[in-house]
Amino acid sequence: MKILIVQDYLRSGGTERQSVLLANAFAAAGHTVTLLTFRPGGRLAATVAAGVERCCLQPFDLGLDWFAPRLVARVRAAAPEVVLCMGRMANCYAGRLQTALPRTAVIATMRTGKRLPARFRASLHAVRHIVANSHDARDTLVREHTVPREKISVIHNSLVFPPLPAGEAAPSPRLSLRGAHGAGPATTVLLCVAMFRPEKNQRELIEIVAGLPAAPDWQLWLAGDGPARAACEQLVAQKQLAARVKFLGFHRDPAPLYRAADLAVHASWSEALSNFLIEAQAHGLPAVAYEAQGIAECFVPGRTGWTIPRDERAAFRAALVQRIGEPPAEREARAAEARAYARTTFDPTRQVAAYLELFSHLLSLR
């Protein structure tokens, strides 16, 4: 098959990582794959496999995520059989692409809990098919956007950073990494891996942990970078939490952080099936997170993860206190269940096969 994936920019976000993963996997399976972006460059550009053709619409980076000059012409010239639109900006153009290429299977994706722009909403009714990354997202499409249920397939996110096989030694020793950040063997490390953008809501996590008791010992690790980081650092300084809250910066592969931490925490209100949470589960980290679209599908509710109603800081804090004080044997049992759930549900081989099966089915209907 000739597959074209559309993404506005290869920043370090979860959707962008999924785009690269799928492009690389489709190419490895023997398909002709083009990854088209509006903007050139981006942190993840270097992770695109050699077998994937790269196409950038802007001659140089204008910093405009929405600007897609000559998009239809470039897609028509590529003559793909399937176009997969990833991210909000790409999906705003999906309907236009389907109208311009009526024989091509243009597929929109629903991967966000944010309000959808008008052009995105119009695309939902124009494209051939839609992939939702959670059952919750599919139900939102049916309920709020009147999309026929049969037009939607649910394919969960894939694990971008799979855990090590059972019995294989970690390349980065857990205690060494913890010690580098001042965490002792008895410290419970809370971890959040996400870009520092307002919708990721790291500020809320800082406000929550500011009310935690000093003992048992804990730390909050915030890995990532972005425009909201400076404000979060100022908040930590104001609350005198520098000894407890650590800013770890961008990590191309955060797997060593997962292996070193004890609990995943997530406060975004607009997330949709968080890549961070499914990767944390795969590495054995139980999770506490605010309710948002698809979040409850990231873990086994009440056993390997707990959802907290939005704005309920006291409830979030209480869940953290309970997890921090959990006996080691109980914590390890939860970790084992989390690993088993995530490695099965979000297995990349399974998800890639689901996409390719869907593509073949849509092409057979032409």
Does position 167 have pLDDT exceeding 60, yes or no?
no
Taking only the tens place, the pLDDT of each residue in 312-346 is: 999 999 999 999 999 989 999 999 999 999 999 99
Do the domains at 2-158+347-364 and 174-345 have one common CATH topology? yes
Give the C-alpha separation, 291 to 267, whole Å: 8
Torsion sign, CA atoms 122, 127, 131, 136: positive
Residues of the chain above pLDDT 90, percent: 86
pLDDT given for residue 270 in this prediction: 77
Does position 168 have pLDDT exceeding 80, yes or no?
no
Taking only the tens place, the pLDDT of each residue in 63-113 is: 999 999 999 999 999 999 999 999 999 999 999 999 999 999 999 999 888
Does position 166 have pLDDT exceeding 80, yes or no?
no
Give the count of alpha carbons within 13 A of 124, CB side only.
Answer: 25
Taking only the tens place, the pLDDT of each residue in 202-233 is: 999 999 999 999 999 999 999 999 999 999 99
Q: What is the mean pLDDT of residues 260-264?
A: 96
Q: Please report which confidence band the pLDDT of residue 169 belongs to, taking 50, 70 and 90 as the band edges.
A: very low
What's domain 174-345's architecture? 3-Layer(aba) Sandwich (3.40)
* DSSP per-residue string spanning 41-81: --TTGGGS-TTSEEEESSSS--S-TT--TTHHHHHHHH--S
In the chain, domain spans: 2-158+347-364, 174-345
Write out the two tokens for 17: 């990582």
Q: What is the DSSP letter of 157?
A: P
pLDDT given for residue 165 in this prediction: 57
pLDDT given for residue 12 in this prediction: 87
pTM of the model: 0.86
Give the C-alpha separation, 5 to 82, whole Å: 8
My answer on whether omega of the bond before 216 falls inside 30° of 0, hence cis, is yes
Give the C-alpha separation, 126 to 43, whole Å: 32
Give the C-alpha separation, 205 to 190, whole Å: 10
Q: What is the mean pLDDT of residues 166-182?
A: 69
CATH class label, 2-158+347-364: alpha beta
